[in-house]
Amino acid sequence: MASSLYFVVLLCLTGGLWTGANAQGKDQSVNPDEDGDCCVSCPPGWTQFENNCYIFYFSAKDWADAEVACIAVGGNLAPVHNKEQLTFIEEMIKRSTGSEVPSWLGGHDAVKEGVWLWSDGSKFDYKFWSAGEPSNGGGAENCMVNAFSGKANDLNCQNKKSYVCGKSLY
């Protein structure tokens, strides 16, 4: 018992980044939390990038049902605040499926056309739209989907797509 406690204390005191593997063989990292306490990590099945955890679901849902499913597992549809996050998400999808599967992300302008929001409430600072996007094609494209070009498109929220959930480690 004492040796187990010693190991946990030693692990926490080392600080820095410890990388292990979760049950699905994906990278998972453990970091001290905001108070310096050890150890904050992504839940099993989730993959860490920067200070966020992500999980991809291949099952197709409309945007609203995908958001509800993400909330049920403790997250939201994934917000994307920089190009590196989108690249990471697209690579995660390719690793999971072997192909480029367009998937719902957390962006939407369903409240007011042209005013984009993230479903997790974080600041919408996304600038990496595909050429001509967001287009609001047919007057009914209010939800964000990745376009596998390091860019995103808007799409009708009723379409059924795979989806990516995200949540902050902190």
Q: Of 43, 40, 23, nearest to 31 (Cα)? A: 40
What's the confidence (pLDDT) of residue 39? 74
Cβ neighbours, 10 Å, residue 166: 25
Q: Of 158, 162, 152, nearest to 118 (Cα)? A: 152
Cβ neighbours, 10 Å, residue 47: 21
Whole-angstrom distance, CA of residue 13 vs CA of residue 149: 41
pLDDT band for 52, please (50, 70, 90 cuts): very high
Task: Note the pLDDT tens digit of each residue in 125-151.
Answer: 999 999 999 999 999 999 999 999 889
Q: How far is CA 2 from CA 6, 9, 10, 28, 31, in A?
A: 6, 11, 12, 27, 23
Whole-angstrom distance, CA of residue 63 vs CA of residue 53: 20
Q: Is the pLDDT of residue 14 over 90?
A: no
What's the confidence (pLDDT) of residue 6? 29
Q: Is the pLDDT of residue 164 over 80?
A: yes
Question: What domains can you pick out in the chain, each with its CATH number?
Answer: 1-41 (no CATH), 51-168 (3.10.100.10)
The length of the chain is 170
Q: Is the pLDDT of residue 157 over 60?
A: yes
Q: pLDDT over 70 for what percent of the chain?
A: 78
Whole-angstrom distance, CA of residue 37 vs CA of residue 32: 5
Task: Note the pLDDT tens digit of each residue in 25-50.
Answer: 334 444 454 555 567 899 999 999 99
Whole-angstrom distance, CA of residue 82 vs CA of residue 144: 15
What is the mean predicted confidence (pLDDT) over 84-113?
96
Q: Which residue has the higher pLDDT, 83 or 3?
A: 83
CA dihedral 129, 82, 46, 90 (to 10 degrees): 40
Q: Is the pLDDT of residue 1 over 60?
A: no
Q: Are the beta carbons of 126 and 80 closer than 8 angstroms? A: yes
The two structure tokens encoding residue 16: 């820095």
pLDDT band for 15, please (50, 70, 90 cuts): very low
Q: Is the pLDDT of residue 121 over 60?
A: yes
